[in-house]
Amino acid sequence: MVLADSSYPLLNAFWTILEFFLLVLWIWLVIMVFIDIFRSADLSGGAKALWVLFVLIIPLLGVLIYLIDRGGTMQDRARQQAQDRDDAFRQYVQQTASAAPPSTADQLTTLADLRDRGMISNEEFESQKAKILA
């Protein structure tokens, strides 16, 4: 598509950049619509399939109608998914942190408790203490 005469190469460059930007924007929008279709828990499998077919067969009209019909809740679904991922990550970190190996002081306290209850002798206590402190 030629917008200007070839005597204006800068205008042609700007037009090409604008076309490229709009193409990237369109691809991003279509991908976001597909992600939202499959993320929606309130749509049945058949409804998801119909939306996908509608967007694939008539892309411009399909995306426009999807954004009008369900665009208001797209951000809510994205926010909920991010919250779910954040909660799962926090739970993983808490489980991992609680499973940390005992510190030297904890190990010595356990050994002293075992010695005090008579489960190990003083010699065993001293040898284990030397291993822990080494």
- Which residue is it, tokens 């070839």? 6
Instruction: Examine residue 80 and state whether it is found in any structural domain, yes or no.
Output: yes
Instruction: Examine residue 3 and state whether it is found in any structural domain, yes or no.
Output: no
The residues, ordered by sequence, that sit 6+ positions from 96 with a Cβ below 8 Å of its Cβ are: none
The per-residue pLDDT for range 83-129, each reduced to its tens digit, is 999 999 999 888 887 766 777 888 888 888 888 888 888 888 899 88
The pLDDT, as a whole number, for residue 89 is: 92
Stated pTM of the model: 0.57
The residues, ordered by sequence, that sit 6+ positions from 50 with a Cβ below 8 Å of its Cβ are: none
What CA–CA distance (Å, rounded) separates 15 from 21? 10
Type of residue numbered 96 = T
Confidence of residue 12 (pLDDT cuts 50, 70, 90): confident
The pLDDT, as a whole number, for residue 5 is: 56
Residue 11's alpha-carbon distances to 23, 82, 110, in angstroms, are: 18, 42, 79
Confidence of residue 71 (pLDDT cuts 50, 70, 90): confident
Q: How many CB atoms lie within 10 A of CB 19?
A: 12
The per-residue pLDDT for range 17-70, each reduced to its tens digit, is 999 999 999 999 999 999 999 988 888 999 999 999 999 999 999 999 999 999
Same domain, 30 and 92: yes
What CA–CA distance (Å, rounded) separates 40 from 72? 13
Instruction: Examine residue 70 and state whether it is found in any structural domain, yes or no.
Output: yes
Range(s) of the domain holding residue 119? 103-134
The pLDDT, as a whole number, for residue 100 is: 64
Instruction: Examine residue 58 and state whether it is found in any structural domain, yes or no.
Output: yes
Same domain, 115 and 88: no
